[in-house]
Amino acid sequence: MIKVRIPTPLRPLTKNQGEVDVAAGSIADLVNTLEASYPGIKARLCDDSGELRRFVNIYVNEEDIRFLKGKDTALKTGDEVSIVPAIAGG
């Protein structure tokens, strides 16, 4: 299983869970698996073509997927994935 850290803005979609465990072989697979359990989450993370939106980052074991293989980044059991919302303010 892969441990996925859910940031505060997405927790209303995950029944307020800050961490969920998912079985997935890649980031794209993980997003689809999350979507099956928590409908609506994919649209928050990815645009219509499936690319990561510019106001979110995903890290695998502290490494940014933009510098790995993006949504094709492979995952293995024990990996930790963090969904990171944009730094923001008012």
Partner 1 sequence: MADLVIPQHILDDMIAHARELAPYECCGLLAGTHGVVSRMYRITNIVAMEGAQNLSSFDPAKVAHLERLSPAERAEIAFVMDMQDFSTAKKDMRTHGLDLQVVYHSHPHDPARPSVTDIKIATDYEEIWPKINLPNPTYLLISLMHSTPDVKNYWITSGQVSPAPFTVR
Residues that bind partner 1 (CB under 8 A): 5, 7-10, 44-45, 53-57, 59, 62, 64, 66-67, 82, 84-90
For residue 85, the minimal CB distance to partner 1 (Å) is: 5
Closer Cβ to partner 1, 6 or 24, answer by number = 6
What dihedral do alpha carbons 62, 66, 72, 76 form, nearest 10°?
A: -10
Q: What is the DSSP string of 21-74?
A: EE--SBHHHHHHHHHHHSTTHHHHHB-TTSPBPTTEEEEETTEEGGGTTGGG-B
Closer Cβ to partner 1, 18 or 25, answer by number = 18
Closer Cβ to partner 1, 64 or 79, answer by number = 64
For residue 21, the minimal CB distance to partner 1 (Å) is: 17
